[in-house]
Amino acid sequence: MNVFEAIFQGIIQGLTEFLPVSSSGHLTITQHILGMSEDNLFFSVMLHIGTLAAVIAVYVRLVGRLFKALVRVCKKIFTKKFKLKELDGEENLAFMIIIGLLPLFVMFLPIGNGMKLKDLADLFAKDGYFIVVGLSLLATSALLYTGNRQSQKYGDGKQDGKKKARRRYKIPDALIVGGTQCLAALFPGLSRSGSTLAASQLRGMDKKIALDYSFLLGTPAIVAAALLEGKDALFPANGQAVTIEYFPVIIGMLFAGVVGFIAIKLFKWLLSTDKMYIFIIYTAIVGAIVLVISIIELATGENMFTHNTLVF
């Protein structure tokens, strides 16, 4: 891999990881068109670490306060003084992030043939399942649309006469959003940030708090994925030595982090100014194109771009 390829992939990763357009969906589309496979697992892991740094950079102060809040919550639990309704705002948010992570354990449930639920993501990334990407992108568009419509029903509860959106998560809210995050991990094309944001909006949550929760909930998931994939990248099952080109990796990480930081700021601004229609339209158009292509390919039995036989 050369530096220019590392820069390009870092930019794409930084943009699609946080904007509600699905990084996994765009990666699958690129691989499908070019006939590529993701064979540099270490580089992929490091790009995720770059985007993780972007989240921490944006939310560094809040993350620090939430860590302290979580310590207070743990202390209340061990001293038997824990009461959910009496938690302050930051304690509630910290506790609900933990609750939202619980559905991730479902991903490791066996589903037969030595596979776990999380392995479906690799299956759906194959050429023969390209239709899944199209349907998932259309689902992302639909979720963004319904979530945005729901948010428009809420206001400040005073001057506009609209019902005030909730600012505190409840346990069912966190579990639903956490479950949505799991679905996004399984289906390439289903945006993690977009679907979890929409899930919160449909539960009546304030859209700005919902977006913060979405990004913060994704942070531990990125860390866990980086640790698991990092182990496989550095210590492959075949026992072969891993050759790493550090300079392109570092450059890719830097671009993923910087572009990711900008993407988070851009997403927050577009949400606050009610410009989510940009992503609704984009994911609908790309999803429709992918769906048409995949239907043609299923009829012919071959990849339209590489002319290889579809692999299921």
pLDDT digits over 45-87, tens only? 888 889 999 999 999 999 999 999 999 999 999 999 999 999 9
Q: Quote the CA–CA distance of 220 and 100 in Å, as a whole number.
A: 11
Q: Would you say residue 308 lies in a domain?
A: no
Q: Would you say residue 130 lies in a domain?
A: yes
Q: Quote the CA–CA distance of 139 and 256 in Å, as a whole number.
A: 26
What pLDDT digit, counting tens, does each position of 176-215 carry?
999 999 999 999 999 999 999 999 999 999 999 999 999 9
Strands 110-112 and 163-164, bridge-based pairing:
unpaired
Q: Would you say residue 311 lies in a domain?
A: no
Q: Would you say residue 306 lies in a domain?
A: no
Q: At how many degrees (to 10) do helices 23-34 and 3-18 cross? A: 140
Domain count, the chain: 1
Q: Would you say residue 109 lies in a domain?
A: yes
Q: Which residues fall within 8 angstroms of residue 31, CB to CB, at 6 or more apart?
A: 37, 38, 125
Nearest residue to 138 via CA among 32, 292, 2, 312: 292
Q: What 3-state class would DSSP assign to 110?
A: strand
How far are the Cα atoms of 14, 137, 233, 237, 245 from residue 240, in angstroms, in the given order? 30, 37, 11, 8, 16
Q: Would you say residue 211 lies in a domain?
A: yes
What pLDDT digit, counting tens, does each position of 7-20 carry?
988 999 899 989 99
Count CB atoms within 10 A of the CB of residue 50: 25
What residues make up the domain containing 105?
Answer: 3-300
What pLDDT digit, counting tens, does each position of 94-151 carry?
999 999 999 999 998 998 888 899 889 888 988 999 999 999 999 999 999 999 999 9
Could you write out the DSSP letters of every residue in 138-188?
HHHHHHHHHHHHHHTTEE-SSTT-PEEPB-S--HHHHHHHHHHHHHHHHST
Q: Which residues fall within 8 angstroms of residue 267, CB to CB, at 6 or more apart?
A: 18, 19, 20, 193, 211
